[in-house]
Structure 1
Amino acid sequence: MNRRDALKNLTMGLGYAVATPTIMNLLVSCKADVNEWAPLFLSEDEQFIVTQIVDIILPASETPGGLDVNIPQFLDLMYHDIEIESNQKAFKEGAKLFTTSFNDIFKKEAVEGSKKEYNTIVSRYFDLSDEESETVFKNQRKNQKNLNPTELKSYHLYKFLISIRYYCIFGYCTSEKIGEDILAYDPVPGAYNGCISLEEATNNRAWSL
């Protein structure tokens, strides 16, 4: 499977089909400095929130982090150009609930939060017991009309966080920098060697799409 086919399959997994050149153009267009780009879909507050969460989910280490490959900008473009209206509305509602939750916990606005505070609140929502996780995903599978007010708030909040996590992984693994510099990359594959180990073939690195 080539890179374009993989991108098409990933977007279809979101519940819709998108012309693959459109996705490729979005990936290529995310070149601005992380502190300089102007959001199209996100508000300035949401831009700050998404940036902090991305930096927690995919922090920079010996390899580039989510901010190094402009994941917040990629998410913004996907929601502006690709996502369906119902998902756009759900994202906005989830962002409002996240802001309210942050204020309730830390007694300050989300845009004033530190990375440590963001790490605390993100861990609070992602580090769940098996029983809590089952409740969350059961609500995600339900029709929204069947949720009570408390469940509906949880639905939008987790949909917001899960969508950020999804686009972190999607954008990161399909970025040019990661595909060419971190994963095993061969733009012109040669002979097929089927009986060698991954360590011998790529030094234990997964192949880039």
Structure 2
Amino acid sequence: MNRRDALKGLGLSLGYVIATPTILSMLQSCTSHAEQWTPLFFSNKQGHILQKLVDLILPKTKDTAGALDVNVPQFIDLFVSKTISDEEKEIYKTGLDAVMEELGILNDEPLALKTEHFESLLSKYLRITRAQRLAYILEEDLVFQTLTTIRDQTVFAYITSKEIGENVLAYNPIPGQQKGCISVEEATGGKAWSL
């Protein structure tokens, strides 16, 4: 299986359709630093909120890069601006506004918020039981749907980034031999394959 097929399969499993080679180039093109980033699709306030959420969803550890280190917010911004319909874009922006309203900053500056506010929001909507998840789905809760989408897109962008694919996941662009019926521990040292 080549990288394109793997990404296409991964994208379909997350609910996204990777239809053009443009998406693949977008995976590598997000190289600007977060402090210099000006969103293409999101407002500056929405971009700031997205950065905070993404950083809490996949934070940097001593051994691995975080979502901000591999430019996940920039990827999500580019991905949304280039791949979804105008109607879906409007729903996405409305969802981010609902998230800001839940945080109590729809008309205020988000800089006053502390990390605890974002952690509380993520706990309320994403660290929940199956029954709570079903209740949010049945209510068609816009904040829940938006945070779930952001989480899914964050994971998708993170695991398909060059840094993570080559340096964290097991990476072998030209496999040499097929070894059947061996453990993942023996094959890759316990790492998932990036291809």
SS in structure 1 of the partner of residue 177 of structure 2 = coil
Partner of 1:63: 64
Q: Supply the distance in 2 between the matched residues of 1:97 and 1:15 (Cα, whole angstroms).
A: 22
Partner of 1:8: 8
Instruction: Say which of 165, 178, 181 aligns to 1:179.
Output: 165
Partner of 1:201: 187
Q: 8 Å contact 2:170–2:192 — kept in the other structure?
A: yes
Q: Supply the distance in 1 between the matched residues of 2:160 and 2:15 (Cα, whole angstroms).
A: 19
- RMSD, aligned CA: 1.9
Instruction: Say which of 148, 170, 187 aligns to 1:162.
Output: 148
Partner of 1:40: 40
Map Cα deviations across residues 162-206 of structure 1 (whole Å, 9 max, x no partner). Answer: 111011110011111111000111111101111322112111111
1:158 to 1:70, Cα distance in 2 relative to 1, 3 A: same
Letter in 2 for 1:130: R
Partner of 2:138: 138
Q: Supply the distance in 1 between the matched residues of 2:130 and 2:183 (Cα, whole angstroms).
A: 36
For structure 1, the 5+ residue unaligned runs are: 141-153
Residue 114 (structure 2) pairs with residue 128 (structure 1):
no
Q: 8 Å contact 1:7–1:23 — kept in the other structure?
A: no
1:32 to 1:90, Cα distance in 2 relative to 1, 3 A: same
With normalisation by structure 1, the TM-score equals 0.84
Partner of 1:143: none
Q: 8 Å contact 1:58–1:66 — kept in the other structure?
A: yes
For structure 2, the 5+ residue unaligned runs are: none
Partner of 1:146: none
Q: Supply the distance in 2 between the matched residues of 1:128 and 1:109 (Cα, whole angstroms).
A: 28
Please give the residue correspondences for 1:83-162 in structure 2 after superposition, counting only pairs within 5 Å: 83-103=84-104, 109-140=109-140, 154=141, 156-162=142-148
Q: Supply the distance in 2 between the matched residues of 1:79 and 1:93 (Cα, whole angstroms).
A: 14
With normalisation by structure 2, the TM-score equals 0.90
Q: Percent identity?
A: 39
SS in structure 2 of the partner of residue 77 of structure 1 = helix
Q: Supply the distance in 2 between the matched residues of 1:39 and 1:187 (Cα, whole angstroms).
A: 33
Q: CA deviation at 1:15?
A: 6.0
